[in-house]
Amino acid sequence: MGLFGRKRGSARSAKERLQLVLIHDRTDISPAVLEALKDDLIQAISRHVAIDPGAVRIGLERDGRSQRLVADIPLKPVARRRG
């Protein structure tokens, strides 16, 4: 039961499921490939800047009929030395 005691319409599930399925159908990038990509990214970036590996998010996004790979990589705050 959702808001106002009404069951959530099934159209929303259909749309949400299709959004995910279509991205994977279109790109042929499996969740496993995405995970491997994320690990490589973390390694590469960690060589240059300090990041928190646990906070890195990587995913596929739709933009009309094309897809993009989107990574969100929060930087660790720089420990400033007090002068």
Partner 1 sequence: MAAKVVTITSGKGGVGKTTAVANIAVGLAADGQRVVCIDGDVGLRNLDVVMGLENRIVYDLVDVIEGRCRLRQAMIRDRHLHGLYLIPAAQTRDKSAVSPSDMVRLCDELRAECDWILIDSPAGIERGFRNAIAPADEVIVITNPEVSAVRDADRVIGLLEAEEKGSPSLIINRLNPGMVRRHDMLSVDDVLDLLAVRLVGVVPEDEDVIVSTNRGVPVALDVKSKAGKAFRNIARRLRGEDVPFEDLDGGGFWERLTRLGRK
For partner 1, the binding residue among 47, 65, 81, 82 (CB under 8 A) is 65
Site mask for partner 1 (CB under 8 A), range 22-61, x = bound: x--xx-----------------------------------
Contact between 38 and 29 under an 8 Å Cβ cutoff? The reply is no
Tell me: does residue 17 bind partner 1 (CB under 8 A).
yes
Residue 3 beta carbon to partner 1: minimum distance, rounded to whole angstroms = 12
For partner 1, the binding residue among 1, 3, 5, 11 (CB under 8 A) is 11
4 is written with which tokens? 């106002």
The whole-angstrom separation of Cα 11 and Cα 1 is 15
The whole-angstrom separation of Cα 1 and Cα 42 is 40
The whole-angstrom separation of Cα 8 and Cα 71 is 31
